[in-house]
Every structure is written in structure tokens, then in C-alpha cells.
Amino acid sequence: MLSNLEIFFIVSALMIFLIVLYAFFKSLFTRKLIQSTIQDSQSMLFQEDPEQGTLGFDDDESELSTQELIILNLISMDKSIFDINQVLMLLKNLNAKHVDGFFSYRDEADNEIFRVASGINPGLLEIDTETHILFMAMDLHQANDPVKALGQMLEVATNIAEKLHASICDQARAPLSKQMIEHYKSKAQEVSHIKATRTIR
């Protein structure tokens, strides 16, 4: 039978062994966790080439390098594929401009307000596109009048939803609530205030 001293030495050796293992593998596990977290958190929607149907906004002003995105999804109520001819004709009738596979809404000075694309990769809206989701995106920092731009985006979304029998959803593809609309309006007002402050300076 083991004496108390022998048990103490065995337990101590085991503890030292576990501490060494922890110290050795800790940095490896931490590094892998950080890498995977960064990769999972990156959105590919605004990083790929716009010609591939993704929505990369131009950054003309270096001081506005941050984005404040407003994203809406128009989802077919019965999940059936939209009639693409109807979609393309509707967007053209609503004064959208077809650019690199997506549709762009612009102000009087031809500055982009927001974009519309397919909500299914690669995002192209072409004559052969099959999708039941339309994706709308706007960067409030790039809009000359963020509050007015948001209002126009919501109005266009409502018109499209009515014509295509679609539900207007938020970025998480949950039905757009009045609270979320007020949240978007609050964001637009904040960005508008920031832009006005910078103009005064």
C-alpha cells in the first residue's frame, strides 16, 4: 500500500505534467480560435468584385472609411422563385440603373443611394437568375442625405414587396418591425448629424 508521501509525489508529478501540457497547447488553441473567429465574422458581401454580384461600395472619402449599412431582404411569401422578367421590368420602371449585375438607385447628382441584388450567391440579377430573395443595401455614410435616402429605400422596398408578393425582412431575414424601422431612422439621423458637423468644420 502506498504511503502518504508517495501519494503526494505522484499527485505532484501529475499536476506538473498537466501544467506543462496546458502551457504548451494554450497558445496553439488560442491562435486557432482567434483565426476561426475572424474568418467567421467577415462578411463576403462587401469584399468581392462587384462584377460577381456582390455589393462593394466605393470609398471616395477616406474620412468616411467606416460603414453604417442598412440591409433589407425581400423574401417571396411562399418561397417560390420570382419571375425574373417581372423583377427586371419592375426595377427599371422604378428608375433603377442596371450596373455590373445588380441595380443601383442614384440621386440627382448621379451619386449612388442604395443597391438591389439577388439574395442568393453570387447575387447577380440577370435574365437567367433564379432567386426568391432580393437583397437591398445602403451605406448611410455615402448618402448625401441619409434620412431622405433611407426613406426612399423603404418606399422602393414597399413597392417591390407589393408587386412581387414578398415580405420585407431585416438583415437577419426576420420580418421588418416598426421598432427596427425606427432604429434605422435613428441611425440615419445620427449619420446625418455627423456629416453636417464635418461640413461645418
- CATH number of the structural domain spanning residue 74: 3.30.1400.10
Q: Is 53 helix (H, G, I), strand (E, B) or coil?
A: coil
Count how many domains the chain has: 2
Q: Domain check: are 194 and 97 in the same one?
A: yes
Question: Which of the four pLDDT bands, split at 50, 70 and 90, describes residue 20?
Answer: confident
Residue 59 lies in a domain: no
Q: Domain check: are 26 and 70 in the same one?
A: no
Q: Answer whether the bond into residue 122 is a cis peptide, omega within 30°.
A: yes
pTM across the whole model: 0.66
Q: Domain check: are 15 and 85 in the same one?
A: no
- The CA distance from 133 to 139, in Å, is 20
* Long-range CB contact pairs, 92-95, < 8 A, 24+: 94/156, 94/159, 94/160
Mean pLDDT for the stretch of residues 109-128: 91
Residue 127 lies in a domain: yes
- For the stretch 123-176, pLDDT in tens is 899 999 999 999 999 999 999 899 999 999 999 999 999 999 999 999 999 999
Question: Which of the four pLDDT bands, split at 50, 70 and 90, describes residue 29?
Answer: very low
Residue with cell 455614410: 141
Q: Is 113 exposed, middle or buried (0-12, 13-18, 19+ CB in 10 A)?
A: buried
The continuous run of DSSP H or E covering 139 comes out as strand 133-139
- For the stretch 48-91, pLDDT in tens is 333 333 455 554 444 445 788 999 999 999 999 999 999 999 99
Name the more confident of 187 and 7: 187
Measured in whole angstroms, the distance separating CA 18 from the mean position of its chain's CA atoms is 44
Q: Domain check: are 97 and 158 in the same one?
A: yes
Q: Domain check: are 108 and 192 in the same one?
A: yes
Question: Which of the four pLDDT bands, split at 50, 70 and 90, describes residue 23?
Answer: low
Residue 133 has a pLDDT of 96
Question: Which of the four pLDDT bands, split at 50, 70 and 90, describes residue 19?
Answer: confident
CA distances from 45 to 41, 117, 122, 136 (A): 12, 11, 9, 12
Mean pLDDT for the stretch of residues 104-118: 91
Question: Which of the four pLDDT bands, split at 50, 70 and 90, describes residue 189?
Answer: very high
Q: Count CA atoms closer than 13 A to 103's CA, side-chain side.
A: 23
Residue 44 lies in a domain: no
Residue 77 lies in a domain: yes
Q: Is 168 helix (H, G, I), strand (E, B) or coil?
A: strand
Question: Which of the four pLDDT bands, split at 50, 70 and 90, describes residue 201?
Answer: low
Name the more confident of 38 and 5: 5
The cell for 58 is 466605393
Q: Domain check: are 24 and 94 in the same one?
A: no
The mean of the pLDDT values for the chain is: 80
Question: How far is it between the farthest Cα atoms of the chain?
Answer: 92
Which range marks the domain in which residue 168 is found?
A: 66-200
Residue 1 has a pLDDT of 58
Residues 6+ apart with CB under 8 A from 68: 139, 140, 141, 187, 191
Residue 80 has a pLDDT of 95
